[in-house]
Amino acid sequence: MTVTDTGIVTVSASGLTLRHGGTAVLDDVSLRLEEGITGLLGPNGAGKTSLLRVLATAVPADRGVFTALGHDPGTAPGRLALRRTLGYLPQNPGFHPDFTAFAFVDYVAILKELTDRAARHREVRRVLEEVGLGDVRGKRIKRLSGGMRQRVALAAALVGDPRLLVLDEPTAGLDPEQRMRFRDLITRAGQGRTVLLSTHQTEDVAMLCHRVIVLARGRVRFEGTPAELTARAAGRVWSSPERDPGARAGWRTATGAFRNVGDPPEGADLLEPTLEDGYLLTLDGAEATAR
């Protein structure tokens, strides 16, 4: 692990390529993760889930290498060592619906080699308390709400106190209140850990992440801090009474005026950029490259 200006590099990937059916779903992806929460932003089909699966050791890359927490998952011992300190929340986590929340997390804890019954039960209880499900731990999963199920899945990822957390769109499908609660949980989970969180919601990144990676068409289009991504849109966001035909993107805001993103005309009424503006311009650049 190396130390950079912003923190300790815990995961480092180089040239990751994954092909499926002749299409490169990941195309020469290189990145680094540091301790703390990194957001992986990208539209649907960008390759986020594929990248997370590779980093979670669920799928081996066709080409490229990565190391995580000092382990090389390209080797069987390295993969095992990494898995022992990995928590993974898949995009669509599955449950045995007849299990209680406790039984499910207990089951995952067994898969994570926590074989001592008393110690395992203590750990299961701890993580369920941590995600705020202590009171419903005896309830069957099929009786829990969507938000609670997602928290059960997060508890399963957290069991065993992993150092690397890979979370695939954990806030998708949650209502605003649940999303806020989940963000709070992720913030706490990110303390002292390396967390990679995929999302297509810029608010998640703005609120949670100290670093962000933008992925589009299987390639990394941006890697840096949220402030740096926002800065990409500095001087490139302006307001106009009607949609500006020269804008890359534009939408009517609550005030009735249009917010335009792109290359502003001279004398335009410039606005303070947001993370979303920077993200949209980055995606637009990716599309232009693809064209």
Query: Measuring CA to CA, which residue among 33, 17, 39, 21 is closest to residue 203?
Result: 39
Nearer to other proteins (CB atom), residue 137 or residue 221: 137
Task: List all residues 6 or more positions away from 215 whose beta carbon is below 8 Å from its beta carbon.
Answer: 29, 40, 41, 42, 46, 47, 48, 51, 221
Out of 118, 254, 288, 290, the only residue in the binding site for other proteins (CB under 8 A) is: 118
Q: Is 111 in the site for other proteins (CB under 8 A)?
A: yes
Helix/strand/coil for 166:
strand
SS3 for 56-97 is CCCCCCCEEEEEECCECCCCHHHHHHHHCCEEEECCCCCCCC
Out of 12, 14, 17, 91, the only residue in the binding site for other proteins (CB under 8 A) is: 91
Q: Is 66 in the site for other proteins (CB under 8 A)?
A: no
Out of 31, 34, 48, 261, the only residue in the binding site for other proteins (CB under 8 A) is: 48
- Return the range that interacts with other proteins (CB under 8 A); candidates 50-58, 199-207, 225-233, 260-268: 50-58
Out of 13, 24, 37, 86, the only residue in the binding site for other proteins (CB under 8 A) is: 86
Q: Is 47 in the site for other proteins (CB under 8 A)?
A: yes
Nearer to other proteins (CB atom), residue 133 or residue 281: 133
Q: Is 124 in the site for other proteins (CB under 8 A)?
A: yes
Q: Is 60 in the site for other proteins (CB under 8 A)?
A: yes
Q: Is 9 in the site for other proteins (CB under 8 A)?
A: no
- Min separation Cβ 192 and other proteins, Å: 21
In contact, 131 and 185? CB cutoff 8 Å = yes
Q: How many CB atoms lie within 10 A of CB 109?
A: 21
Strand order through the sheet with 247-252: 247-252, 258-262, 237-240, 269-270
Burial label for 157, CB within 10 Å (0-12, 13-18, 19+), is buried
In contact, 272 and 237? CB cutoff 8 Å = yes
Nearer to other proteins (CB atom), residue 90 or residue 226: 90
Q: Is 238 in the site for other proteins (CB under 8 A)?
A: no
- Min separation Cβ 25 and other proteins, Å: 7
Strands (E), the chain: 2-3, 8-20, 23-34, 36-41, 63-68, 86-89, 164-168, 194-199, 211-216, 219-224, 237-240, 247-252, 258-262, 269-270
Q: Is 106 in the site for other proteins (CB under 8 A)?
A: yes
Helix/strand/coil for 165:
strand
- Min separation Cβ 23 and other proteins, Å: 9
Q: Is 19 in the site for other proteins (CB under 8 A)?
A: no
Q: Is 150 in the site for other proteins (CB under 8 A)?
A: no
Out of 32, 120, 211, 219, the only residue in the binding site for other proteins (CB under 8 A) is: 120
- Report the distance separating Cα 164 and Cα 158, nearest Å: 10
Q: Is 63 in the site for other proteins (CB under 8 A)?
A: no
Q: Is 74 in the site for other proteins (CB under 8 A)?
A: no
What tokens does 1 get? 């692990």
Residues of this chain that bind other proteins (CB under 8 A): 20-21, 25, 44-50, 53, 56-60, 76, 79-80, 83-84, 86, 88, 90-97, 99-100, 102-103, 106-108, 110-113, 115, 117-118, 120-122, 124-125, 137-138, 156
